[in-house]
Structure formats: C-alpha cells, structure tokens
A and B are shown apart, each in its own frame.
Chain A
C-alpha cells in the first residue's frame, strides 16, 4: 500500500536561511511524487513533480527535491527562505492507475519564516 509521512508538522526558519521539509513515502511500485504548497484559505499549487526521470527535481520559486529510493525519501529544500514562502506544504504520492490515479496526501508541514 502507498503512504506518505511528513516528519515535521511545523518548521520555523529565519529569512535568508535554508529550508528543509522532510517526507518519507511507502510504495509497492515506482511512485510519482509531488510537493504542493497552500497559502492560507487558498487552493493547492504544484511546486514540483518526480516521475522516475532525474532524481533531483527543480520546481518553482527556487524549491527543489531529491528522490532517494534507498531511503524512501523525497525531501523539499530551498537555499534561502523568503517571507512569501510561509505556507503549508504537502508531500503527495500517486496511486496506481487502477486505483483511480488518486493522490495520497501527507499531513502537511507548516513553514513559518521569521524576519
């Protein structure tokens, strides 16, 4: 069965310092993995997607994530946080096509950025 675990419910960083949001997944096959961002009272916006091509995936707004099969991890990073990065971030794994191609969401990590 597929599942996803976000290891931190809340991360706080100072503006200009690196961001690390951790995600582990479980999948019985080679999964598609995503990171989405949600600003307060808004819908979700796709940051980046991994689909078995390059293991280092670059996304929007300077974010990137590295797929590590041996560690079953897909951590999200950014070299330098900006105030506008404060939001909730969701790590997501995709179910197989015969399961409706649905997404399994992690519980979310709230990122706070201090001036």
Chain B
C-alpha cells in the first residue's frame, strides 16, 4: 500500500527540548516537503528536498532542521530555538520538484507542555 507515513500523530515538547517528526514515503518520489499549518492559515513551507543529500530552506526555516540521507525518509527536527512550535505539521512528496502533484501524509500535531 503506497503512501506517506508520518509519526507520531501527536507529540508534546518540553521547554528547551528538541523533537523529531518522522516522514517516510514508499512512492519512490524524489522530492519531499515539510509544511507548518496554523489555525485559519494556509500551509507554509519549512524545508524541501529535491533529491537525496540535498535540501533547501523554505519560507519559515528558522528553528527547524532536516536531513535527507535516504530517498524514502525526510525527518524534521523542531529545535529549542523554535519559540512557537505548536502547530500541525504536514509532510508531502512529489515525483520530482517540477511543480507536480504533491501527496500528503496525515500530519503530526505538536504541542508544548
């Protein structure tokens, strides 16, 4: 069953703690993306990766980090430098970075304790 899997579904972060959100895809897509969604707002791009071992900052990259060591995996770390991390985080992938359809995971909701 092909798709994008995000885990965990819910995550809580303590003050000063780094947390990592997982995103795995078995669609054999080259490009992967991380978005942040706040209530009443559209999605904002955090980071994207067009190919393994390469990634680019999006519009709101400060306080976040990513890696792309494997084609199928694109984990996002929310660092302690991100002062307002409470949001819904969505991972997506596309066949290539050429503006085609992006397929989304079910999301991770991050809250601060």
Interface residues of A in 77-115 (CB under 8 A from B): 90, 94-97, 100-103, 105-108
In the complex, the answer to whether B31 meets A101 with C-beta atoms within 8 Å is: yes
Q: Identify which of residues 78-101 in chain B touch chain A, using a CB-to-CB cut-off of 8 Å.
A: 88, 90, 92, 94, 96-101
Size category, B interface: 20 to 34
B90 touches A32 (CB 8 A): no
**Residues of A within 8 Å of B, CB-based: how many?**
24
Measured between beta carbons, the chain A residues less than 8 angstroms from B25 are none
Q: B16 on the interface (CB 8 Å rule)?
A: no
Q: Are A94 and B107 in contact (CB-based, < 8 A)?
A: no
Answer whether residue B112 sits at the interface, using C-beta atoms and an 8 A cutoff: no
How many whole Å from A106's CB to the nearest CB in chain B? 6
Compute how far the CA of A96 lies from the CA of B42 in the bound complex, rounded to whole angstroms: 20
Question: CB-CB contacts of A34-65 with B at 8 A, as 1s and 0s?
Answer: 10100001111110010000000000000000
Query: Given that A41-B107, A44-B104 are known contacts, is A107 also in contact with B42, CB under 8 Å in the complex?
Result: yes
Q: Which residues of A contact B109 (CB under 8 A)?
A: 41
Cβ contact within 8 Å between B41 and A107: yes
Docked Cα-Cα span, A42 to B106, in Å, equals 5
In angstroms, Cα B44 to Cα A90, docked, is: 13
Known: A42-B106, A94-B99, A105-B42. A100 touches B90 (CB 8 A): no
Query: Which of B42, B56, B94 has the most A CB atoms < 10 Å from its CB?
Result: B42
8 residue pairs of the A-B complex, CB under 8 angstroms, read A9-B40, A41-B107, A43-B4, A49-B101, A97-B98, A101-B97, A105-B43, A106-B42
